[in-house]
A and B are shown apart, each in its own frame.
Chain A
Amino acid sequence: MTTTATPLDVATVRADFPILGRTVREGKRLVYLDSGATSQRPRQVLDAERAFLETANAAVHRGAHQLAEEATDAYEGAREAIASFVGVGSGEVVFTKNATEGVNLVAYAMGNAATSGPGAERFRIGPGDEIVVTEMEHHANLVPWQQLAARTGATLRWFGVTDEGRLDLSDVDELVNERTRVVAFTHQSNVLGTVNPVAFLAEKARAVGALTVLDACQSVPHSPVDFRALGVDFAVFSGHKMLGPSGVGVLYGRRELLEALPPFLTGGSMIEMVQMASSTFAPPPQRFEAGVPMTSQAVALGAAVEYLSAIGMDRVAAHEHRLTEAALRGLSEIPGVRIVGPLDTVDRGGAVSFVVDGIHAHDAGQVLDSLGIAVRVGHHCAWPLHRRLGAAATVRASFYLYNTLDEVQALVDGVREAQKFFGVA
């Protein structure tokens, strides 16, 4: 964590986000603490999408007219900007509709490897093989692997979570073994905020010849991330959690792996040559982008990474670090509040989930909402993790570069207000 960078100027940042100026629930100032679910978009991103549509919109990678050229340039330019943002080559970045599709792409492509040519052998998986996930995964990085195991006869195994909300790595050498084909895990838990030791797990996986698939949805938007340095094979993240549009996500795959990986969705754009009985496929990344892709969304995501880069991801991370510290301190001072996840800010990002004794998360969230504070309530698509934590549902506040210490204080005050309202204070 870099804490020496010049602090970012939140007021200037906030001025870029029109939605943050609105009021909700009878004139309450909006306090948006749900960026872990979806982030808000700055004018620069909205303008980029609109400018593209007003000047250069066309179907990319087909057609030879001027708009088609310009649209393709804008789309591929965005790919380059996004690739460099996460330290990889542009040929290693596949646009998907979201991160969930990215995980499914890898899982289904591995399933397809059974009936693909000899180049795909390294992706084959079947009875006796093992897929390793963790108990803290978002459903998006769990269910596709359950399904792959069910389709292929492979066995699903998982790392547990400690009471402190860290990965239980005590059995790592037993879990990641010569039968392991995939190790899929999250970089940063969307519930606990826990940042996992990616390079360590990638090294363990590599040592046994297993592929790593990293869910980077909660890390790439919030801190500097370099997939090559981390040593992972595949990684996914979403546009809408990093100031970009919904409808666009990214799958990163090491070039030599993408070269050998069979396709998932097939059709237009992803072919090399088509005959009536069979076809051959384009090289990556086009092989994995069947059909006319989301274009203005990709262009706008390119603008989002430019926006974030101009501010500096180290400064974004340092800012969120301060907010997280304040939230952990403020919330843990309230009697009856239990924070799930690490109580310190070491290897921890800006998602703070908690339960309030005697108040269901829905009810606590409703009181916060009445004060204009938007948080997430429920299991946050991590149901097994909540079971492990002994909580049916939690309240989650998640921070981003546009949040302020005042907003953290509003959250803390709001939780006390909820206790008063339900008579548990």
Chain B
Amino acid sequence: MQLQQMYQEIILDHYKNPHGRGLRDPFDAESHQINPTCGDEVTLRVKLDGDTVADVSYDGQGCSISQASTSVLTDLVVGRPLGEAFVKLDAFVELMQGRGQVEPDEDVLEDGIAFAGVAKYPARVKCALLGWMAFKDAVARSEGAEA
């Protein structure tokens, strides 16, 4: 059934027990992203330690897809070098924009591969990318603040 393809167990698990949720101090930059079609929102903070993503904390309200994908994001990027985090971000964006035609690499995306089914539903792609766009924006802001 199509529904199970979209709502993989991994997604529902992250939705019910989100990782890294809650806004924490200290942080270098914060981003607030809104999905104007449904009103979902996320506030996300990034703390960098040199070139390493020291912490990602977030709060928001939204559907299972947006909440779960933000939870997966924290698993994938916290504790990693920025360069590696952005490789994962690019891979996740490519997967989500692939209309279900992109084969995800589990070594890069880990739990993120569960979102492959979501990519077949264009209306939900924005949901899956909400937290990731906030991460990208927050990193850009922290770099802007340093410069």
Smallest Cβ distance from A138 to chain B, in angstroms?
A: 14
Count contacts between A and B, CB distance < 8 Å.
49
Q: Is the CB of B3 within 8 A of A392?
A: no
Within 8 A of B (CB), among A53-111: none
Within 8 A of B (CB), among A363-399: 363, 366-367, 370, 377-379, 383, 386, 392-393
Bound: A360/B7 CA distance, A = 13
Residues of B within 8 A of A421 (CB): 3, 7
Q: A393-B39, A421-B3 are in contact. Are A366 and B124 (CB under 8 A)?
A: yes
A362: which of B2, B3, B12, B63 is its contact (CB, 8 Å)?
Answer: B63
Residues of A within 8 A of B6 (CB): 366
Does any Cβ of B come within 8 Å of A171's Cβ? no
Q: A360-B64, A362-B127, A392-B61 are in contact. Are A377 and B3 (CB under 8 A)?
A: no
Residues of A within 8 A of B61 (CB): 392
Smallest Cβ distance from A185 to chain B, in angstroms?
A: 22
Does any Cβ of B come within 8 Å of A228's Cβ? no
Closest B residue to A26 by beta carbon equals B2
Smallest Cβ distance from B41 to chain A, in angstroms?
A: 8
Q: Is the CB of B40 within 8 A of A393?
A: yes
Smallest Cβ distance from B74 to chain A, in angstroms?
A: 20
Does any Cβ of A come within 8 Å of B38's Cβ? yes
Bound: A360/B62 CA distance, A = 7
Bound: A386/B41 CA distance, A = 14
> Would you give the 0/1 interface string for B29-41, flagging 1 where the beta carbon is closer than 8 Å to chain A?
0000000011110
Q: Is the CB of A362 within 8 A of B39?
A: no
Smallest Cβ distance from B45 to chain A, in angstroms?
A: 21
Q: Which DSSP category, helix, strand, loop or mixed, fits chain B's interface? A: mixed
Does any Cβ of A come within 8 Å of B147's Cβ? no
Q: Is the CB of B124 within 8 A of A362?
A: yes
Residues of B within 8 A of A370 (CB): 1-3
Residues of B within 8 A of A367 (CB): 3
Range of interface residues on B (Cβ < 8 Å)? 10 to 19
Residue from the set B1, B63, B65, B121 with the largest chain A CB neighbour count within 10 Å: B63
> Would you give the 0/1 interface string for A21-62, flagging 1 where the beta carbon is closer than 8 Å to chain B?
000011000000000000000000000000000000000000
Residues of A within 8 A of B7 (CB): 363, 366, 421
Smallest Cβ distance from B60 to chain A, in angstroms?
A: 10
Residues of B within 8 A of A304 (CB): none
Residues of B within 8 A of A362 (CB): 38, 40, 62-65, 124, 127
Smallest Cβ distance from B6 to chain A, in angstroms?
A: 7
Does any Cβ of B come within 8 Å of A149's Cβ? no
Residues of A within 8 A of B124 (CB): 362, 366
Smallest Cβ distance from B120 to chain A, in angstroms?
A: 11
Closest A residue to B35 by beta carbon equals A378
Residues of B within 8 A of A26 (CB): 2
Q: Is the CB of B64 within 8 A of A377?
A: no
Residues of B within 8 A of A408 (CB): none
Q: Is the CB of B38 within 8 A of A393?
A: yes
> Would you give the 0/1 interface string for B105-123, flagging 1 where the beta carbon is closer than 8 Å to chain A?
0000000000000000100
Does any Cβ of B come within 8 Å of A232's Cβ? no
Residues of A within 8 A of B64 (CB): 360, 362-363, 422
Does any Cβ of B come within 8 Å of A361's Cβ? yes
A392: which of B2, B12, B39, B65 is its contact (CB, 8 Å)?
Answer: B39
Closest A residue to B38 by beta carbon equals A378
Residues of B within 8 A of A25 (CB): 2
Bound: A24/B6 CA distance, A = 17
Residue from the set A361, A379, A383, A393 with the largest chain B CB neighbour count within 10 Å: A393
Smallest Cβ distance from B134 to chain A, in angstroms?
A: 17
Smallest Cβ distance from A357 to chain B, in angstroms?
A: 14
Q: A366-B3, A366-B124, A370-B1 are in contact. Are A378 and B39 (CB under 8 A)?
A: yes
Closest B residue to A377 by beta carbon equals B38
A361: which of B1, B12, B38, B65 is its contact (CB, 8 Å)?
Answer: B38
Q: Residues of B with Cβ closer than 8 Å to A?
A: 1-3, 6-7, 12, 37-40, 61-65, 121, 124, 127
Give 15 new A-B contacts, CB below 8 A, not counting A362-B63, A393-B38: A360-B40, A361-B63, A362-B65, A362-B124, A362-B127, A363-B64, A366-B7, A366-B121, A367-B3, A370-B1, A378-B37, A383-B39, A392-B40, A392-B62, A422-B64
15 residue pairs bridging A and B, Cβ less than 8 Å apart = A360-B40, A361-B63, A362-B65, A362-B124, A363-B7, A366-B7, A370-B1, A377-B38, A379-B38, A379-B39, A392-B40, A392-B62, A393-B40, A421-B7, A422-B12
Q: Residues of A with Cβ closer than 8 Å to B?
A: 25-26, 360-363, 366-367, 370, 377-379, 383, 386, 392-393, 421-422
